[in-house]
């Protein structure tokens, strides 16, 4: 039997056919998309993109609740696409609406002409080529890049690991909201350290036996070392104001960096989390 999957690679975004809508209101505009804000600052970031593109105050931009009966289907809130893909559609909606307003402020146009809506769908860059049959071509329009360097201490008696400093360099186009982006990098990096050193899943009879915060250890501020965050700008034309996706990038690098540091100390680490019980078995004989 042969299985083949593409997910969000290749023609994935074409199949999603994601859309975004921008509605004129008495005060300004309303964003109508299906992207959910689950703490990553989506509502703020999208409103900022629209406000900047329309050249109106941020306070004049409203974000509708992602109720699928009233908003456009902008695709799932996954895979680092919320800013680059959905944000780009919103930028295009805002630029089209700005042109249709003819120089009038949204409130002034609404008072004179009534309601106005702009609906746009995502159009991948023309240069992307992908073959669904051979599974070859441009899997993604672009990539974000990162580099992590960790400095740590190892107790030679207890094999406890203490990270001292984590330097994180992230290139994701252009930060739309630098403070939110920095917070996402800091949180994701701390999560990556937990993945590397603390978060051990214990399975028993097919179920997770330590599924509570009392016995599943995650990093606290005392476990988080000094973080040196560097955001490199390399604008991407296919994203809003040059932005790319940040999403999963911050948590991808810390664990490999920790493992490499431990291997540099002579420990043959082959799995994570690198808890003392495992590290004591990794000493070179």
Please, what is the angle between helix 254-264 and helix 178-197, to 10°?
50
Domain harbouring 39, CATH code: 3.30.365.10
Cβ-contact 45, 177 below 8 angstroms:
yes
In whole angstroms, what is the distance from residue 15 CA to residue 271 CA?
37
129 occurs within a structural domain: no
Question: pLDDT tens digits for 196-219?
Answer: 999 999 999 999 999 999 999 999
Provide the whole-model pTM.
Answer: 0.89
pLDDT at 12: 84
Domain, as residue range, for 65: 12-123
* Together in a domain, 250 and 206: yes
* Together in a domain, 158 and 115: no
Q: How many domains does the chain have?
A: 2
* Together in a domain, 94 and 162: no
Displacement of CA 100 from its chain's centroid (Å): 32
Buried b (16+ CB within 10 A) or exposed e, 206-241: eeeeeeeeeebbebeeeebbebebebeeeebebbbb
116 occurs within a structural domain: yes
In whole angstroms, what is the distance from residue 90 CA to residue 83 CA?
10
Question: pLDDT tens digits for 47-93?
Answer: 999 999 999 999 999 999 999 899 999 999 988 899 999 999 999 99
* Together in a domain, 199 and 275: yes
Question: pLDDT tens digits for 128-140?
Answer: 888 888 889 988 8
């Amino acid at each position: 039997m042969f299985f083949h999957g593409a997910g969000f690679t290749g023609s994935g975004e074409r199949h999603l056919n994601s859309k975004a809508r921008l509605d004129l209101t008495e005060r300004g505009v309303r964003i109508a998309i299906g992207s959910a804000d689950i703490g990553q600052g989506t509502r703020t970031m999208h409103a900022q993109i629209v406000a900047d593109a329309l050249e109106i105050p941020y306070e004049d931009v409203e974000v509708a609740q992602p109720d699928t009966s009233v908003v456009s289907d902008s695709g799932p809130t996954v895979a680092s696409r919320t800013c680059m893909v959905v944000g780009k559609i919103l930028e295009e909606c805002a630029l089209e609406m700005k042109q249709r307003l003819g120089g009038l402020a949204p409130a002034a146009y609404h008072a004179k002409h009534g309601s106005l809506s702009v609906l746009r769908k995502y159009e991948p860059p023309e240069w992307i080529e992908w073959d669904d049959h051979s599974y070859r071509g441009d899997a993604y329009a672009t990539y974000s890049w990162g580099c992590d360097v960790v400095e740590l201490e190892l107790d030679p008696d207890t094999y406890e690991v203490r990270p001292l400093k984590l330097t994180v360099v992230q290139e994701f186009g252009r930060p739309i909201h630098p403070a939110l982006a920095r917070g996402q990098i800091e949180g994701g990096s701390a999560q990556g350290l937990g993945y590397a050193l603390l978060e051990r899943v214990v399975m028993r009879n097919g179920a997770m036996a330590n599924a509570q915060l009392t016995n599943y250890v995650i990093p606290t501020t005392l476990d988080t070392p000094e973080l040196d965050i560097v955001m490199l700008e390399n604008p991407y034309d296919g994203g809003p104001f040059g932005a790319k996706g940040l999403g999963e990038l911050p948590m991808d690098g810390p664990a490999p960096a920790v493992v490499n540091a431990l291997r540099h100390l002579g420990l043959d680490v082959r799995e994570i989390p690198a808890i003392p019980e495992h590290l004591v078995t990794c000493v070179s004989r």
